[in-house]
Structure 1
Amino acid sequence: MKLLKFRQATFADVVSLSELIRRTIRVSNSKDYDQKSIDLLCAIFEPEPVTERIEKELILLSFAGTRLVGTVGLKGDYLRSLFVEPVYQGQGFGRVLTTRIEEEARKNAMPEIMVHSSLTAQEFYSALGYNFVELQSYPEGPFVLMRKPLQ
């Protein structure tokens, strides 16, 4: 795995961040979600909503050299919006991003962290110690609420 660099997202990152997320959804989630769900999910990550997220939550970006390869967010005690560029998936980048955001949650003295996992990512989170809480239904499709103790 290439050495990753991290930094917090800024408004200058909105377009590239939005593109990374929407591309990842279209490639990675297509086996578990229908086209309508994919389109609804992508709409959540258009540039305007991404701008609003940057204002309200911690969003970290990861770079391999100068290339944006992944992102993860933290809002309250929720891990949010973990996405890794499809060509970099399966190489440990998601694990590194998850560890980084869990460190941020620990700094804020959170006893646990929650995630609304896509069906696609449920096994990934399980392998990192997240436990199934319940299956939830949204207009964008089903998601799995999971939690992990941080002690």
Structure 2
Amino acid sequence: MKSLKIRQATVADVVSLSRLIRHTIRVSNAKDYDQKSIDMLCAIFEPEPVAERIENELILLCFADANLVGTVGLRGEYLRSLFVEPAYQGQGFGKVLTVRIEEEARQKAIPEMMLHSSLTAREFYAALGYEFVELQSYPEGPFVLMRKPLQ
């Protein structure tokens, strides 16, 4: 794996972070979601809402060499917004980010992680020990509520 650097996002990262997330949604989720759902998801990650998230939750960025390749967030007991640039998927970056955010949650004495997985990422999370709770429906499409004890 390339030289990795993980750091907390700042407001200076808003544009590049928004671009990474929206590009990843458009490429990675196209097989599981219709265009309307993808457009609605992308709207959630325009720069202004991303700036609000940076102010209200812990968001980590992952760089391989100098390239922004992934991100993950933590809000309360929820793992949020794990995205890896499509060209870097399958190389372990998602797992590294998930393990790191779980460590952050443990430090905050959070006993169980929850997440809303896209249909696309469900198997990824299952392989990391997350269990199916229920299928949920949102205007942006169906998502899978999952959980994992952090003991």
- Report TM bin, short chain: over 0.9
What letter matches 2:96 in structure 1?
A: V
Q: Is 1:100 aligned to residue 100 of structure 2?
A: yes
What letter matches 1:111 in structure 2?
A: P
Q: 1:43 is matched with which residue?
A: 43
In the comparison of the two structures, how many residue pairs are matched? 151
Q: 1:81 is matched with which residue?
A: 81
State the distance in 2 between where 1:46 and 1:26 align. Answer: 13
TM-score (norm 2): 0.99
Q: 2:15 is matched with which residue?
A: 15
Question: 1:63-78 maps to which residues of 2 (within 5 A)?
Answer: 63-78=63-78
* Superposed CA offset, 1:20-74 (max 9, x none): 0000000000000000000000000000000000000000000011110000000
Identity of aligned residues (%): 83
State the distance in 2 between where 1:134 and 1:81 align. Answer: 18
Q: 1:34 is matched with which residue?
A: 34
Runs of at least 5 residues in structure 2 that lack an aligned partner in the other structure = none
Q: 1:141 is matched with which residue?
A: 141
Q: Is 1:52 aligned to residue 57 of structure 2?
A: no
What letter matches 1:26 in structure 2?
A: R
What letter matches 1:56 in structure 2?
A: N
* Superposed CA offset, 1:87-113 (max 9, x none): 000011000000000000000001100
Q: 1:124 is matched with which residue?
A: 124
Runs of at least 5 residues in structure 1 that lack an aligned partner in the other structure = none
Q: Tell me the CA shift for residue 5 of structure 1.
A: 0.3
Q: 1:109 is matched with which residue?
A: 109
What letter matches 2:68 in structure 1?
A: L
TM-score (norm 1): 0.99
* Superposed CA offset, 1:93-150 (max 9, x none): 0000000000000000011000000000000000000000000000000000000000
Extract structure 1 runs of 4+ deviating beyond 6 A. none
SS in 2 for 1:91: coil
